[in-house]
Structure 1
Amino acid sequence: MAVIVPFSPAPKGHLPAQIVRNASPSRLSRLMLWRQRRAQRLMLRDDLLRQPDSVLADAGWTRAAARAEAAKPFWRG
Protein backbone atom coordinates (compact mmCIF):
# COMPACT_ATOMS: atom_id res chain seq x y z
CA MET A 1 0.00 0.00 0.00
CA ALA A 2 1.31 3.43 -0.91
CA VAL A 3 1.86 6.19 1.63
CA ILE A 4 0.06 9.47 1.05
CA VAL A 5 2.26 12.54 1.25
CA PRO A 6 0.21 15.65 2.01
CA PHE A 7 0.43 18.23 -0.78
CA SER A 8 -1.82 20.79 0.85
CA PRO A 9 -1.98 22.29 4.33
CA ALA A 10 -4.16 20.76 7.00
CA PRO A 11 -7.85 21.51 6.63
CA LYS A 12 -8.93 24.93 7.84
CA GLY A 13 -10.90 25.27 11.02
CA HIS A 14 -10.78 23.41 14.26
CA LEU A 15 -12.75 20.72 15.93
CA PRO A 16 -15.65 22.16 17.91
CA ALA A 17 -14.62 23.13 21.44
CA GLN A 18 -17.23 20.85 23.02
CA ILE A 19 -15.72 17.83 21.27
CA VAL A 20 -12.23 18.79 22.40
CA ARG A 21 -13.34 19.29 26.03
CA ASN A 22 -15.33 16.06 26.26
CA ALA A 23 -13.14 13.69 24.26
CA SER A 24 -10.50 11.45 25.76
CA PRO A 25 -7.00 11.85 24.29
CA SER A 26 -7.31 8.62 22.29
CA ARG A 27 -10.66 9.66 20.82
CA LEU A 28 -9.38 13.13 20.04
CA SER A 29 -6.30 11.76 18.27
CA ARG A 30 -8.54 9.39 16.29
CA LEU A 31 -10.71 12.32 15.18
CA MET A 32 -7.63 14.25 14.11
CA LEU A 33 -6.31 11.22 12.20
CA TRP A 34 -9.65 10.78 10.43
CA ARG A 35 -9.72 14.46 9.54
CA GLN A 36 -6.20 14.25 8.10
CA ARG A 37 -7.06 11.12 6.08
CA ARG A 38 -10.18 12.79 4.70
CA ALA A 39 -8.22 15.85 3.61
CA GLN A 40 -5.50 13.73 2.00
CA ARG A 41 -7.96 11.54 0.12
CA LEU A 42 -9.91 14.55 -1.10
CA MET A 43 -6.66 16.07 -2.36
CA LEU A 44 -5.74 12.81 -4.04
CA ARG A 45 -9.14 12.55 -5.71
CA ASP A 46 -9.58 16.20 -6.65
CA ASP A 47 -6.02 17.17 -7.59
CA LEU A 48 -3.68 14.28 -8.23
CA LEU A 49 -6.04 12.00 -10.17
CA ARG A 50 -6.63 14.77 -12.71
CA GLN A 51 -2.93 14.80 -13.59
CA PRO A 52 -1.36 12.78 -16.42
CA ASP A 53 0.18 9.38 -15.65
CA SER A 54 3.70 10.86 -15.73
CA VAL A 55 2.88 13.19 -12.82
CA LEU A 56 1.35 10.32 -10.87
CA ALA A 57 4.49 8.26 -11.47
CA ASP A 58 6.66 11.14 -10.23
CA ALA A 59 4.60 11.14 -7.03
CA GLY A 60 5.08 7.37 -6.68
CA TRP A 61 1.55 6.36 -7.66
CA THR A 62 -0.05 4.24 -10.32
CA ARG A 63 -3.45 5.39 -11.46
CA ALA A 64 -5.06 2.21 -10.12
CA ALA A 65 -3.42 2.57 -6.68
CA ALA A 66 -4.37 6.27 -6.49
CA ARG A 67 -7.99 5.48 -7.36
CA ALA A 68 -8.13 2.69 -4.79
CA GLU A 69 -6.69 4.93 -2.05
CA ALA A 70 -8.98 7.85 -2.93
CA ALA A 71 -12.03 5.56 -2.80
CA LYS A 72 -11.37 4.40 0.78
CA PRO A 73 -13.51 5.88 3.52
CA PHE A 74 -11.60 8.08 5.98
CA TRP A 75 -11.92 5.62 8.86
CA ARG A 76 -10.02 2.89 6.98
CA GLY A 77 -6.24 2.95 7.18
Structure 2
Amino acid sequence: MAGQGSGGNVIAAICNIFFPGLGQLVQGRILAALIFAIITFGGYALWFLVVPAIIAAVVHLWAIIDAAKYSSRE
Protein backbone atom coordinates (compact mmCIF):
# COMPACT_ATOMS: atom_id res chain seq x y z
CA MET A 1 0.00 0.00 0.00
CA ALA A 2 1.20 3.49 -0.78
CA GLY A 3 0.26 5.15 2.49
CA GLN A 4 -2.42 6.96 4.42
CA GLY A 5 -5.16 8.30 2.17
CA SER A 6 -4.12 6.17 -0.78
CA GLY A 7 -6.64 4.40 -2.96
CA GLY A 8 -5.70 1.07 -1.43
CA ASN A 9 -6.56 2.31 2.03
CA VAL A 10 -9.92 3.58 0.84
CA ILE A 11 -10.70 0.17 -0.67
CA ALA A 12 -9.58 -1.53 2.55
CA ALA A 13 -11.84 0.74 4.63
CA ILE A 14 -14.79 -0.01 2.35
CA CYS A 15 -14.10 -3.75 2.67
CA ASN A 16 -14.21 -3.37 6.45
CA ILE A 17 -17.67 -1.84 6.30
CA PHE A 18 -19.08 -5.07 4.91
CA PHE A 19 -16.82 -7.63 6.64
CA PRO A 20 -14.78 -6.54 9.68
CA GLY A 21 -11.12 -7.48 9.24
CA LEU A 22 -11.28 -7.87 5.47
CA GLY A 23 -9.59 -4.52 4.94
CA GLN A 24 -6.65 -5.54 7.11
CA LEU A 25 -6.48 -8.81 5.18
CA VAL A 26 -6.35 -6.87 1.90
CA GLN A 27 -3.45 -4.88 3.35
CA GLY A 28 -1.65 -8.11 4.28
CA ARG A 29 -2.09 -7.84 8.06
CA ILE A 30 -3.42 -11.28 8.90
CA LEU A 31 -3.21 -11.11 12.72
CA ALA A 32 -5.02 -7.76 12.88
CA ALA A 33 -7.68 -9.10 10.51
CA LEU A 34 -8.30 -12.14 12.70
CA ILE A 35 -8.49 -10.10 15.90
CA PHE A 36 -10.93 -7.55 14.46
CA ALA A 37 -13.11 -10.28 12.91
CA ILE A 38 -13.27 -12.47 16.02
CA ILE A 39 -14.07 -9.63 18.42
CA THR A 40 -16.64 -8.06 16.11
CA PHE A 41 -18.48 -11.24 15.16
CA GLY A 42 -18.35 -12.55 18.72
CA GLY A 43 -19.84 -9.34 20.05
CA TYR A 44 -22.52 -9.20 17.38
CA ALA A 45 -23.42 -12.84 18.10
CA LEU A 46 -24.02 -11.89 21.74
CA TRP A 47 -26.22 -8.90 20.83
CA PHE A 48 -28.84 -9.87 23.41
CA LEU A 49 -26.38 -9.07 26.22
CA VAL A 50 -26.15 -5.46 24.90
CA VAL A 51 -22.62 -4.66 26.22
CA PRO A 52 -20.80 -7.10 23.87
CA ALA A 53 -22.77 -5.64 20.95
CA ILE A 54 -21.69 -2.12 21.89
CA ILE A 55 -18.07 -3.24 22.19
CA ALA A 56 -18.36 -4.99 18.82
CA ALA A 57 -19.73 -1.83 17.20
CA VAL A 58 -16.83 0.21 18.58
CA VAL A 59 -14.28 -2.38 17.38
CA HIS A 60 -15.99 -2.48 13.97
CA LEU A 61 -15.63 1.29 13.67
CA TRP A 62 -12.03 1.03 14.90
CA ALA A 63 -11.29 -1.56 12.18
CA ILE A 64 -12.61 0.78 9.49
CA ILE A 65 -10.57 3.72 10.75
CA ASP A 66 -7.47 1.54 11.22
CA ALA A 67 -7.62 0.36 7.62
CA ALA A 68 -8.10 3.91 6.34
CA LYS A 69 -5.18 5.36 8.31
CA TYR A 70 -2.71 2.48 7.90
CA SER A 71 0.69 3.25 6.47
CA SER A 72 3.37 0.62 6.08
CA ARG A 73 6.79 1.18 7.62
CA GLU A 74 8.59 0.32 4.39
Q: What TM-score do the two structures reach when normalised by structure 2?
A: 0.31
Larger Rg: 1
Q: What TM-score do the two structures reach when normalised by structure 1?
A: 0.31
Q: Which has the higher helix share?
A: 2
